[in-house]
Structure 1
Amino acid sequence: MTTYAALLRGINVGGSRKLPMAELRTLLSGLGHTGVRTHLQSGQAVFATERGDEESLGAELSRAVEERFGFPVDVIVRDHTYLKAVADNCPFPAAGLEARQLHVTYFSAPVTEDRFAAIDQAAHLPEEFRLGDRCLYLYAPDGVGRSKLAEALSRPSSTRGVIATSRNWNTVVKLVELTAPEA
Structure 2
Amino acid sequence: MAGYVALLRGINVGGANLIGMDALAEDFRAAGYESVRTHSQSGNVLFTAEPQTAPDLEAALESMLRHRLDAPLTVIARSRDELAATVAAAPADHGSDEFRSEVFFLKHPLAADEVMAQLPELRDGVDRMAPGPGALYFSRTKALATKTRIQRLMAMPVFKRMTVRTWRTTTRLLELLDA
Alignment TM-score > 0.5, same fold = yes
- For 2:6, what is the secondary structure of its paired residue? strand
Identity over the aligned pairs, expressed in percent? 27
- The SS at the match of 2:90 is coil
CA contact 1:34–1:49 (8 Å) conserved in 2? yes
Task: Show the 5 A alignment for 1:1-183.
Answer: 1-94=1-94, 96-97=96-97, 101-108=100-107, 109-112=110-113, 113-116=116-119, 119-121=120-122, 123-142=123-142, 146=146, 148-157=148-157, 159=158, 163-180=161-178
> How large is the Cα RMSD of the aligned pairs?
2.2
Secondary structure, aligned partner of 1:120? coil
| Residues 52 and 143 of structure 1: CA distance in aligned 2, closer, same or farther (over 3 Å) | farther
Offset of residue 85 of structure 1: 1.3
Counterpart contact for 2:126–2:147, Cα < 8 Å: no
Asked if the contact 2:95/2:167 (under 8 Å) is kept, the reply is: no
Q: When the two structures are superposed, what TM-score results if normalisation uses the length of structure 2? A: 0.88
Deviations 1:78-135 (A, max 9, x none): 011111111111114135327x70000000121313122xx223x3422211111221
Shift of 1:169: 0.8
Note the residue ranges of structure 2 that are not aligned, 5 or more in a row. Answer: none
C-alpha distance in 2, partners of 1:70/1:143? Answer: 42
1:115–1:9 Cα change, 3 Å: same
CA distance in 2, matches of 1:176, 1:45: 12
Which of structure 1's runs of 4+ aligned residues deviate more than 6 A? Answer: none
Gaps (5+ residues) in structure 1?
Answer: none
When residues 53 and 104 of structure 1 are mapped into structure 2, their CA distance, relative to the original with a 3 A threshold, is same
